[in-house]
């Protein structure tokens, strides 16, 4: 049986065997190997035949149809993903090529699948709430390798790779303190809103995916051109850029691998069909390092679940929630209660205004950090206007730093630091609608999409 699977995988890689035929062949061989006698009818004696009558029972040799119980939630989240597959399948050389690429890069495939464990349950749950196909849960694999700190040359950020304009259209805050294009909950809600919108526009998920990559306006024009020429308007018939041409086949290749991992020689580790994280309401500013300590998790894990924050201090923003491992929510709440009972501060970072003639390195030395760290913590680049009155975030004497560790964990978002008078209270540049939107909400955005592509170019990873 193992040899047969290896043969099927080799034939799939070279494109000599279509996936559907490989699936049928594997199921047939599995039934034959588990029941060698099933190849021919078997005559069995009757269990209670009347005396004097020669009555026999003939065993049914028809293939067994696999039965999937959709009424009982599966223990493995991957099976839940498979159960929700509903997009029309693509086939052809492009899909075969992408399958080969994934299988020829097993380490990248393994690391991305491992990274997805944090986020997949939430994404699948949100898709099911909306009645959307669960193939879309694999889209962050194509977009960012499930890395919420990924970015592209077109300034697309996050797991779903929103560019700034589309992020603003879908009410994702982008300011000095945070960038919700990296927020796990907010960006997922926005991405599904956008995907549903472009599906409603085209009535076809393949065209919706092409729009997500290339822009709904560009896809609409390509469809209109084919209509004028009397040509088919399906995804494979459109003239699209090379990146978009490979985009949907890449998702189909992943779908094939997840659907039948044994065909490709992949050992797909099960993921518990349980929430990986929970949300905890936060009131007032808090340091990243303190929040991680209260939850008793490494800063790296905290940032992986709360990647939107760009500074060591999280701002005082209405309706903001912390994302914590489900097993650590109660730990955090208990430690927070003890922490506040002892009148300990939740933030040890202060606002400092640069004085006339004062240099950044002088300020850094005073607060016992390097000039590089001061610039990183405050998003200061060569383009930043440094002068009197510039507000800086600096560590107080009780700051839980591990300076070197924290400075490389936080995503670097270059921006002009806000003035001191705007640092207190609500973050600048936030609309009322955005401030009042709950982090777990899935309300469809009423704003009109910008018509620009979500992403162009290959995503990169922010320094860690």
pLDDT in tens, 76-107: 999 999 999 999 999 999 999 999 999 999 99
pLDDT in tens, 384-405: 889 998 889 998 877 755 444 4
Catalytic: 143?
yes
**Mean pLDDT, the chain, integer:** 81
Q: How far apart are CA 111 and CA 118, in angstroms?
A: 12
Helices and strands: H and E segment counts in the chain: 20, 10
Which helix (H) or strand (E) segment holds residue 323: the answer is strand 321-325
Q: How far apart are CA 450 and CA 182, in angstroms?
A: 19
Gyration radius of the chain over CA positions: 27
User: Which has the minimum average pLDDT: 115-119, 125-129, 332-336, 416-420?
Assistant: 416-420
Do residues 195 and 186 make contact, with C-beta atoms less than 8 angstroms apart?
Answer: no
pLDDT of 13 reads 59
pLDDT of 1 reads 55
> Of 126, 143, 216, 260, which one is the catalytic site residue?
143
Q: Where do the domains of the chain lie, and which CATH numbers do they carry? A: 77-272 (1.10.530.10), 277-428 (no CATH)
pLDDT of 171 reads 96
Distance linking the first and last C-alpha atoms of the chain: 44
């Amino acid at each position: 049986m193992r040899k047969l699977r290896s043969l099927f995988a080799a034939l799939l890689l070279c494109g000599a065997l279509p996936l559907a035929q490989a699936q049928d062949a594997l199921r047939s061989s599995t039934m034959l190997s588990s029941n060698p006698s099933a190849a021919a009818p078997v005559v069995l004696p009757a269990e209670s035949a009347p005396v004097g009558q020669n009555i026999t029972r003939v065993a049914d040799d028809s293939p067994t149809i696999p039965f999937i119980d959709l009424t009982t939630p599966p223990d493995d989240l991957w099976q839940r993903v498979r159960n929700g597959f509903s997009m029309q399948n693509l086939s052809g050389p492009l899909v075969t090529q992408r399958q080969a690429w994934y299988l020829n890069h097993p380490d990248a495939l393994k690391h991305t699948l491992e990274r997805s464990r944090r986020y997949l349950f939430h994404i699948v749950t949100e898709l099911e709430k909306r009645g959307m196909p669960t193939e879309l849960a694999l889209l962050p694999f194509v977009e960012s390798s499930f890395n919420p700190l990924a970015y592209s040359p077109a300034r697309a950020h996050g797991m779903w790779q929103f560019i700034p304009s589309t992020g603003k259209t879908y009410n994702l805050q982008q300011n000095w303190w945070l960038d919700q294009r990296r927020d796990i909950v907010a960006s997922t809600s926005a991405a599904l809103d956008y995907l549903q919108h472009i599906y409603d526009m085209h009535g076809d998920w393949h065209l919706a995916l092409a729009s997500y990559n290339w822009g709904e306006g560009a896809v609409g024009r390509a469809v209109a051109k084919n209509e004028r020429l009397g040509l088919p308007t399906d995804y494979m018939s459109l003239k699209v850029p090379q990146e978009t041409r490979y985009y949907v086949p890449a998702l189909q290749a992943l779908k094939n691998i997840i659907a039948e991992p044994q065909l490709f020689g992949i050992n797909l580790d099960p993921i518990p069909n349980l929430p990986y994280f929970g949300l905890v309401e936060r009131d007032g500013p808090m340091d990243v390092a303190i929040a991680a300590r209260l939850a008793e998790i490494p800063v790296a894990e905290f940032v992986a679940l709360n990647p939107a924050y760009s500074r060591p201090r999280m701002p005082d923003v209405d309706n903001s929630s912390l994302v914590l491992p489900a097993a650590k929510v109660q730990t955090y709440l208990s430690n927070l209660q003890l922490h506040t009972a002892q009148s300990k501060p939740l933030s040890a970072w202060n606002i400092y205004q640069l004085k006339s003639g004062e240099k950044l390195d002088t300020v850094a030395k005073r607060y016992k950090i390097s000039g590089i760290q001061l610039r990183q913590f405050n998003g200061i680049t060569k383009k930043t206007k440094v002068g009197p009155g510039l507000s800086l975030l600096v560590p107080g004497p009780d700051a839980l730093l591990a300076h070197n560790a924290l400075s490389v964990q936080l995503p670097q978002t270059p921006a002009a630091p806000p003035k001191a008078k705007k640092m207190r209270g609500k973050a600048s540049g936030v609309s009322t609608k955005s401030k009042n939107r709950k982090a777990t909400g899935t309300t469809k955005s009423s704003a009109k999409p910008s018509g620009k592509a979500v992403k162009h170019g290959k995503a990169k990873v922010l320094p860690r």
